[in-house]
């Protein structure tokens, strides 16, 4: 994922679900997706369906949220974590990651 810039709209923020062997989890039968983004002050924002969507058919384990407003991300470091519920009812989380939002010039 390329670093988003402050004020960007439509920037995808992506997570990947992998199993204990590092293989992609097949999310094609998922029933719920959400992405939690925590800014540098500790303020958490959780987005879920329909603003969070699979990046393809779900077999690659990837899902994303795309920013919708210019004020959504300010320059700094963010933590991110995805959560998903499979059709059998099992709720899981992705590993926690980080991403940087670059300042706009």
SS (H, E, C) 12-65: EEEEECECCCCCECCCCCCCEEEEEEECCCCCEEEEECCCEEECCCCCCCEEEE
Question: What is the pLDDT, as a whole number, of residue 2?
Answer: 65
Looking at residues 61-88, what average pLDDT do you find?
A: 90
pTM here? Answer: 0.87
**Distance between CA atoms of residues 20 and 22, nearest Å:** 6
Q: Is it the case that residue 54 has pLDDT exceeding 80? A: yes
Q: Residue 40 is encoded by which pair of tokens?
A: 């540098």
Question: What is the pLDDT, as a whole number, of residue 85?
Answer: 92
Note the CATH architecture for domain 12-97: Sandwich (2.60)
Q: Is it the case that residue 94 has pLDDT exceeding 90? A: yes
Domain boundaries, the chain: 12-97
Percent of the chain with pLDDT over 90: 57
Taking CA atoms, 82 is separated from 7, 63, 93, 103, in Å, by: 23, 8, 6, 25
pLDDT tens string 1-32: 567 899 999 888 999 999 999 999 999 988 78
């Amino acid at each position: 994922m390329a670093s988003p810039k402050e004020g960007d709209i439509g920037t995808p923020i992506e997570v990947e679900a992998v199993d204990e062997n590092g293989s992609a989890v097949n999310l094609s039968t998922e029933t719920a997706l959400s992405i939690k983004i925590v800014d540098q002050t500790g303020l958490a924002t959780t987005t879920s369906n329909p603003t969070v969507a699979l990046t393809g058919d779900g077999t690659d384990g990837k899902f994303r949220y795309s920013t919708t407003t210019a004020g959504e991300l300010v320059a700094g470091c963010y933590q991110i974590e995805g959560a998903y519920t499979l059709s059998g009812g099992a709720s899981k989380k992705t590993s926690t990651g980080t991403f940087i939002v670059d300042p706009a010039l």
